[in-house]
Amino acid sequence: MLVLSNLLPLFFEHHQVNEIKETVELLELKSICKNPKNNVVNTLSTFFQHLYTDHWQVAIEDGDDPFTFDNWVEDLSSFLERWEHLLNNYDEEDECKVTVTVHKAVHDINMTFVYDHDAFMHYLTQIKAIDFIGVFSRHLIKCKGMAIFVVASLSKRAGSNTVHFLENIPPIGTKPSSDVDHTKTWERLKSVCQFSGVEDSILLPSDLKLESKGALPPKLIEKFEKCALVLLLSIVADFMTIRENKLIGKLNGYKTFNLDFDIPQLSTASIDTYYKIYLWLLTGGNLQDKIGIVRNLISLNVDSNDLYTLPDAVYHSILSGFKVYERQNIKQYIELRNKMYDQLMGFNEKAGKIVETFANSFQKSALAVVSLYASMIVVRVLSAKDVKGAFTLEATMLSLAFLLISFVYFFISRWEVRQQRLRYTESYNNMKCRNEDLLTKEDITKILNNDRDYKADLALIDGKLQEYSVLWLLLLAILATITLLLFHLNQRDIYTPTL
């Protein structure tokens, strides 16, 4: 790739660099040059090949109108033509100011190019901890969780599992990869800790914990470790805020400590212990229970001189303490699980009663209507008259009134079933929420068989409601049709003259 120190010799015999600044997003170079070169066709071809898609802007000022170049606007042939014109009007002994500005972009496979090794490393080393964390957090968001810096003049690659410093563009198929989900991990962590000071930060300790230190400057390695320790302390503490180069917070365990650290003075001697604790916290289980044990044991073993140095034995004490805690709570866990099983059986019975209530309403309504019709027909038969003669105008109106009452009763019963179903759903969800204080969501899901019985109960209620609704409406429709038909036949016999 293009090395910035090789840029000016391509165009000038003599040059002196006054200032170079390079950040993650921007490069600025200011220099004094003279004696521009004549034959630059070959070198310019090489130069243009290494511009990639970063936005390069060059300005050459010698007192007259500045000579400018913008690679997003101008191509090679146009630049050569203007360069020749510059040479024809330029005094070789005149000095000119050359300013190079590069607005850097994120390229394929999340690459960002670094053109001046020393300037970039100096920038990362000198910025404050709050800015260091913010820079890498924003860049990881832009790179979707995996940042690759291709650094000019880097002799040996280095990096963590998500931030990489490489000497060259990696060959196709060898891109570093990671399965870290920053958003989900912080959603879990924020349930037990509060970290503020860096807006919308997604940076995790693993992003700054270097797996390979390569040829990075010692001061930059120390900066990575201290900022990783800042994140680790922020997760272990109840709350922590970062202000400039200060870390302020509180730890509540068996003992309570008010924390106030000067970040540049932090010792990273205990970073491996804290990092193992952090990884253990994320390996499953109830995070609330785990962080409680961690804070209790840290508060008992922390060095009173600095309030953060930990002996490595604390990590093993935490593991042992959690095992004891699990054994002590296994009985309570079994009791909770059995209680949830009992509650689940109660919900099954409740679902059956909802269906039974609607079925009883249907049976009562059907029995009342059928009894009415049966009594009318029996009376007519005993009086030795035709059945159709029973449906006089008054009897027909009375029958239709009973059918209408049954129809209204149907909608009332159906509405009541809907309300009972809604209360059933709310009760079930409330039961799950109440148990989340004592059991993990994974345990609750397993005990409830992924809500399989609950879904089956809802399907039973909906299915039976549909079946009985069809039967009820069908019965009313049949009886109404028979009533109107017999009424019509009766009316026809009344008004038909006897021969």
* Judgement on whether residues 97 and 120 belong to the same structural domain of the protein: no
**Residue 244 banded pLDDT, cuts 50, 70, 90:** confident
Given a cut of 90, whether residue 26 has pLDDT beyond it is: yes
Is 357 a member of any domain?
yes
Mean pLDDT over 218-226 rounds to: 95
Is 222 a member of any domain?
yes
Q: Which residues, 6 or more positions from 327, have their beta carbon under 8 angstroms from its beta carbon?
A: none
Q: Which residues, 6 or more positions from 132, have their beta carbon under 8 angstroms from its beta carbon?
A: 124, 223, 227
Query: pTM of this prediction?
Result: 0.65
Identify whether the C-beta of residue 44 lies closer than 8 Å to the C-beta of residue 60.
no
* Judgement on whether residues 178 and 80 belong to the same structural domain of the protein: no
| CA angle, 152 then 156 then 158, to 5° | 95
Is 453 a member of any domain?
yes
The domain boundary, picked from 276, 311, 346, lies at 311
In this structure, what token pair is assigned to residue 52? Answer: 């990639």
In this structure, what token pair is assigned to residue 123? Answer: 């920038």
* Judgement on whether residues 370 and 427 belong to the same structural domain of the protein: yes
Q: Can you tell me the distance from the alpha carbon of 260 to that of 262, in angstroms, rounded to the nearest whole number?
A: 7
Backbone angles phi, psi at 193, to 5 degrees: -150, 165
Is 316 a member of any domain?
no
* Judgement on whether residues 55 and 168 belong to the same structural domain of the protein: no
Is 283 a member of any domain?
yes
Q: Can you tell me the distance from the alpha carbon of 180 to that of 208, in angstroms, rounded to the nearest whole number?
A: 13
* Judgement on whether residues 262 and 181 belong to the same structural domain of the protein: yes
Give tens-digit pLDDT for 71-129. 888 777 777 777 777 777 777 677 888 898 999 988 877 889 998 999 999 999 999 99
Nearest to 25 by CA among 129, 115, 159, 133: 115
**Average pLDDT along the chain:** 82
The domain boundary, picked from 82, 104, 126, lies at 104
Is 321 a member of any domain?
no
CA pseudo-torsion sign 408, 409, 410, 415: positive
| Domain tally, the chain | 3
Is 125 a member of any domain?
yes
* Judgement on whether residues 399 and 460 belong to the same structural domain of the protein: yes
Dihedral (Cα; 415, 418, 423, 427), 10-degree rounding: 170
Nearest to 294 by CA among 306, 275, 208: 275
Give tens-digit pLDDT for 34-83. 888 776 656 666 666 655 578 888 888 877 778 888 888 877 777 777 77
In this structure, what token pair is assigned to residue 18? Answer: 């006054």
Q: Can you tell me the distance from the alpha carbon of 5 to that of 15, in angstroms, rounded to the nearest whole number?
A: 11
* Judgement on whether residues 421 and 387 belong to the same structural domain of the protein: yes
The domain boundary, picked from 262, 279, 311, lies at 311
Give tens-digit pLDDT for 416-451. 878 888 887 888 888 878 777 666 677 777 777 788
Q: Which residues, 6 or more positions from 466, have their beta carbon under 8 angstroms from its beta carbon?
A: none
* Judgement on whether residues 188 and 143 belong to the same structural domain of the protein: yes
Q: Please give the pLDDT value at position 270.
A: 93
Structural domain including 23 reads 4-104
Q: Please give the pLDDT value at position 329.
A: 66
* Judgement on whether residues 77 and 147 belong to the same structural domain of the protein: no
Mean pLDDT over 390-411 rounds to: 74
Is 279 a member of any domain?
yes
